[in-house]
Structure 1
Amino acid sequence: MKFFSLLLFLSISGTAFGQFDFMDNGDQLGPYPVLDSVENKQEVEQMLYLQKVRTGADCAEAQVQATANLATLFGGKNGVLSDNEIAKVKKKLTMVTIKTGTEIYFSKSEFKRPRPYLTHPEIKPCVDLESSTAYPSGHSALARVYARMLSVIYPERSLQFFERADKAAFNRVLGGVHYPSDIVAGKKLGDVLADGYLSDSGLREELERLGR
């Protein structure tokens, strides 16, 4: 994930972030499978299988989402959101996006799991490489948060939002830049964050009004 949100975090005053309490995500997410463990070897086998069967079209689809945002995750050809809906929703979710990106950054900094292609050279990514660490998957976390928020705005499309978020997460494994356990942790982080955001009745009401 391109951590544009960290730059935004550094450029926004502390007052703007005073409303947020940042989490200790280590206990929330738990440890990842250590190198050379049975679990890690199984993950590598899964990735190598996907590497063998993926197509150029699969990689092209995954590459579109190399930078994660509302448009790349939920818009575009055959997207769940129209361009007009993305423009309408994007501003309302600005602070949610920044907070989520910052939590992802802190979590990755805490775990420091190397990307799979760095420790397993037989894994050959077919999407842009990342300078950040692997665990948890930022794309998966952000996509999950967006799916939860969008499901409040447009509840009739909830299933489509979650399907799209799950596909975006899977594409990170298929593309060779994340282990499966990174994806699981990313979804878990996204749900924890979304639960916190949606516990704010004011925000939930604003999102509901947005879809009317």
Structure 2
Amino acid sequence: MAETAVAPGTSRVSSLLHDLQQLDHALYAAVAATDTPTLDTGLRRLSRAADNSKISLTIAALLALRPGRGRRAALTGVAAVGLASASANLVGKELVRRPRPDRAAAEVVADRQVPMPASASFPSGHTASAVAFAFAVSAGLPAAAVPLFLLATAVGYSRVHTGVHYPGDVAAGALLGTACGAAAVALFRSR
């Protein structure tokens, strides 16, 4: 019987991916198992408010009322949200097709839950859009960096807390959002 050749490093890569998936599931389970009744309502509301980038678009509308740098930052931020949303939802989720977490098996408290999206889990589109917006707006308005990145972090965490994403989905969304924010900034600086 002939032995099938395995590319060097293949077993190491698959072992690493397996370990990362195990860690991802363990972190998700730890969040689900942690009793946080004071946080549950607020994080559920934040997660819902971030649907369709409503928070970012509201902030952009307010910034657009300020002429000059505020308007330009708002426009760059909205472009970054559009790029991140398309990249996460039309490309990333379609390529990876990771199933959503099983909230019932993890026993995610009902008071935390938001409706489970029908789309794939990886990457988190909410996180990608929030981070892209924070990155793009902060490039034009540095004073906005800390509050916007704190908000983006809270949005990302809320997606794990409510049980609709694994932490790895959120981390990937943050990386994608950073890239999309940088691309939007570069596009607007070149004009």
Question: If the length of structure 1 is used for normalisation, what is the TM-score?
Answer: 0.65
Per-residue CA distance 1:146-174 (angstroms, 9 max, x = gap):
00111023211211111111111111111
Q: Using the alignment, how far apart are the partners of 2:106 and 2:32 within structure 1?
A: 11
In the alignment, is residue 180 of structure 1 matched against residue 158 of structure 2?
A: no
Q: Using the alignment, how far apart are the partners of 2:144 and 2:78 within structure 1?
A: 21
Please name the residue that 1:146 is paired with: 133
State the SS of the aligned residue for 1:72. helix
Please name the residue that 1:85 is paired with: 63
Residue pair 1:151, 1:157 contacting (<8 A) in 2 also: yes
Match of 1:184, as an amino acid?
Answer: A
Q: Using the alignment, how far apart are the partners of 2:41 and 2:94 within structure 1?
A: 32
1:110 to 68, 77, 95: 95
Q: What residue ranges of structure 1 are gaps of 5+ in the alignment?
A: 1-29, 76-80, 207-212
Residue pair 1:74, 1:164 contacting (<8 A) in 2 also: no
2:46 to 30, 41, 61: 61
Residue pair 1:74, 1:161 contacting (<8 A) in 2 also: no
Q: Using the alignment, how far apart are the partners of 2:167 and 2:144 within structure 1?
A: 26
Residue pair 1:135, 1:185 contacting (<8 A) in 2 also: yes
Q: Using the alignment, how far apart are the partners of 1:86 and 1:176 within structure 2?
A: 34
In the alignment, is residue 43 of structure 1 matched against residue 27 of structure 2?
A: yes
State the shift of 1:190 in Å.
1.0
Match of 2:41, as an amino acid?
Answer: G
Match of 1:97, as an amino acid?
Answer: V
Please name the residue that 2:3 is paired with: none
Label 1:72 to 1:34 Cα distance change in 2 as closer, same or farther (>3 A).
farther
Per-residue CA distance 1:62-95 (angstroms, 9 max, x = gap):
3222x132x42475xxxxx485325656555554
Please name the residue that 1:159 is paired with: 146
Alignment: residue pair count: 167
Label 1:173 to 1:98 Cα distance change in 2 as closer, same or farther (>3 A).
same
Label 1:47 to 1:197 Cα distance change in 2 as closer, same or farther (>3 A).
same
Match of 1:136, as an amino acid?
Answer: P
Q: Using the alignment, how far apart are the partners of 1:42 and 1:196 within structure 2?
A: 33
**Residue range with higher mean Cα deviation, 31-40 or 135-144:** 31-40
Q: What residue ranges of structure 2 are gaps of 5+ in the alignment?
A: 1-12, 66-70
2:84 to 100, 110, 115: 100
Higher share in helix: 2
Question: If the length of structure 2 is used for normalisation, what is the TM-score?
Answer: 0.71
Q: Which has the larger radius of gyration?
A: 2
Q: Using the alignment, how far apart are the partners of 1:91 and 1:82 within structure 2?
A: 7
Q: Using the alignment, how far apart are the partners of 2:76 and 2:179 within structure 1?
A: 20
Q: Using the alignment, how far apart are the partners of 1:156 and 1:36 within structure 2?
A: 36
